[in-house]
Amino acid sequence: MEPEQGQPAPDAEYVLHLYIAGATPNSAQAVRNLHDICQRYLPGRCEVQIVDIYQQPELARQQRIVAAPTLVKKEPGLMRYLVGDLSDRRRVLNVLGLKPDPNDPYLHD
């Protein structure tokens, strides 16, 4: 079965970078949310790099990160950015090109 146009292949490997600002509550929430999404939607096919912009400011500058937390989807497909604590699950899934699981208890209606 072919993926829908604009949708990654069902077995695509994901490369995600999450830029955070230290140990703030928003940063911690973003890390938890991303971890949960990867476990539910991308088990075994998600490479995540957490970058603290205070500890690695050059990496943030290279990617033109101006706010944290910011999620950068590097692969598959086009690079996409999402700013925030990743609590809007539908929005995160849209950026990742994933279809929502109707049984996901964290989806907001």
Considering the domain boundaries, does residue 9 fall inside one? no
| Tens-place pLDDT, residues 41-85 | 999 999 999 999 999 999 999 999 999 999 999 999 999 999 999
- The pair of structure tokens assigned to 87 is 């609590």
| Tens-place pLDDT, residues 7-36 | 677 789 999 999 999 999 999 999 999 999
CB crowding 65-88: b at 16 or more within 10 Å, else e? beebbbbbbeebeeeeebebbbeb
Which residues constitute the domain of residue 45? 14-96
Considering the domain boundaries, does residue 8 fall inside one? no
Considering the domain boundaries, does residue 103 fall inside one? no
pTM: 0.88
Residue 29, domain CATH: 3.40.30.10
CA distances from 28 to 25, 50, 89 (A): 5, 11, 16
Q: What pLDDT was estimated at residue 3?
A: 44
Considering the domain boundaries, does residue 81 fall inside one? yes
Considering the domain boundaries, does residue 108 fall inside one? no
Considering the domain boundaries, does residue 101 fall inside one? no
How far apart CA 108 and CA 15 sit, in angstroms, is: 25
Q: What is the DSSP string of 32-90?
A: HHHHHHHHHH-TT-EEEEEEETTT-HHHHHHTT--SSSEEEEEESSS-EEEES-S--HH
Considering the domain boundaries, does residue 27 fall inside one? yes
The total domain count for the chain is 1
